[in-house]
Copies of this chain bind each other. A is one copy, B any other.
């Protein structure tokens, strides 16, 4: 690649936006040149408009950008959306209509039938929805989305088992506080505590998982015909969502077969050597007490889902633990990997 592609972030001053700004630092293909935010921030320097909440300090290349209104106009063609759900629907559509490629982390369009909900290792062929989307909506641009942060850990943990015929999934999450943004969860609620509720999260995990693991058939995605049940909990952990998974598999694989499936799993991002693709999207940890969020989530630049503790489930077939970095593989990194995949598919034009 000769010259890096200019990219922008919609909602750049918020917590998710900051994760995009951080993740894009030094990206070999994409150069952050545009930061969009609310009218209140527009016109200010990014460093003045933003209370930097992430570890360390603000990347200097972002600090000097002038924040723009979130309206098509001077924005680059490729935009990452970190918009809040309350405003994402209209703003993302406006940009797509105006010809932009919107690669969104927002939940708003994920479940629409003509919008790909991508995990590039699992369902890159769902990008075939894009022409349909453009036809349906008369857009020159397009929208692609990545899943909810907890869904990514679940679906990447399950994807290696898809060939065995997944028919039933029961999972319980233990989710990090960074998943709730800023100010997010009050410390009085979560210090030395567990909150057994995250609004809308269980529904998202259940529906998104079926769509992501579903098949492109006749120009549409046929959801996976598995029963999916999620229990979602917040725990006092900074980064990394843990998912305890029990799964029923039609083909009744042996432990060795399941383990081999984890150990050999790979995908298109690895084949194409995409810049944000981890060498291995799923790594099985054989230690009896791993993965752990504080010790493992940030490894492999936060882009690998770690699984472990594979053992028989007396109630379904197998059970195991999956861990994903919620603000990287579950948000900014997911979207950037989506854009990298789309680039190699010629979909950024």
Contacts and interface: CB of A to CB of B under 8 A. Distances in A.
A46 to B, nearest CB: 16
A315 B197 contact: no
Interface in A141-192: 168-170, 172, 174, 177-178, 182-192
A302 to B, nearest CB: 12
Interface string A308-347: 1100011110010100000000000000000000000000
Interface string A57-84: 1000000000000000000000000000
Given A56-B296, A187-B185, A242-B196, A172 B231 contact: yes
Interface residues of A, number: 60
Contacts of A296: 55-56
A238 B192 contact: yes
A233 interface: yes
Quick one: copies of this chain in the complex?
Answer: 4
A178 B235 CA distance: 17
A62 to B, nearest CB: 17
B236 A244 contact: no
Nearest to A322: B196
Contacts of A105: none
Interface of A: 53-57, 168-170, 172, 174, 177-178, 182-197, 206, 227-229, 231, 233, 235-238, 242, 244, 246, 288-296, 298-299, 308-309, 313-316, 319, 321
